Amino acid sequence: MSRPYVIDQMISAKSIAARIESLARDIHAAFDDTDKLVVVGLLRGSFVFIADLVRELDLPVEVDFIEASSYGDGMESSREVRILKDLRGTIEGRDVLIVEDIVDTGHTLSHVTDYLRSRHPARLKTIALLDKPARREVDFRADWTGFEIPDAFVVGYGIDFAQRNRNLPYIGQVRFTDDA
């Protein structure tokens, strides 16, 4: 049985929507000359973010997904990144934007970026909805970040805790009620 917890709202749905509009303008400026931007979402946590982001992009886009894991059902990264699902299409010579939900230790996004860079895209950029720099173990920073947050366990807007709470429209901090 899991520990009882409550979720305190950290970032509202309205704040997320406004930030995504701003990020989309920045991405458009960076890729305004592209014939097609391949937007690669890291499953599963980024699926809500990627859906909202691509709807705000005024660019021709193709969406693909890669699934990498270093967490399983736990709250701590194992630091061993595994590719569970690879891209369906090719990215060689193409413009690519990797979309991640949260950069914590940095291991996953760093690994996936190196993995996709080895496929020789024309340009490769990264975006993360959330960044927790206090937890960083790898010298990696996304090209764009939605929000910098403290070292807190968060859920919502696609991010889960043991496959729960992905459907919350906001980012919330998990607080265990049995903690003293």
Indicate the CATH number for domain 12-151. Answer: 3.40.50.2020
- For 114, the token pair is 């190196």
Peptide bond just before 44 cis, omega within 30 deg: yes
Instruction: Annotate 32-41 with b (16+ C-beta within 10 A) or e (fewer).
Output: eebeebbbbb
Spell out the domain ranges in the chain: 12-151
Helices (H) and strands (E) in the chain, counts: 3, 9
Position 1 scores a pLDDT of 46
Give 126-174 pLDDT, tens digit per residue: 999 999 999 999 999 999 999 999 999 999 999 998 889 999 999 999 9
pLDDT, mean of residues 108-125: 96
Kindly report the pTM of this predicted structure: 0.91
Which residues are known catalytic residues? 104
Task: For tokens 């403290």, name the residue.
Answer: 150
DSSP string across 38-68: EEEEEETTTHHHHHHHHHH--S-EEEEEEEE
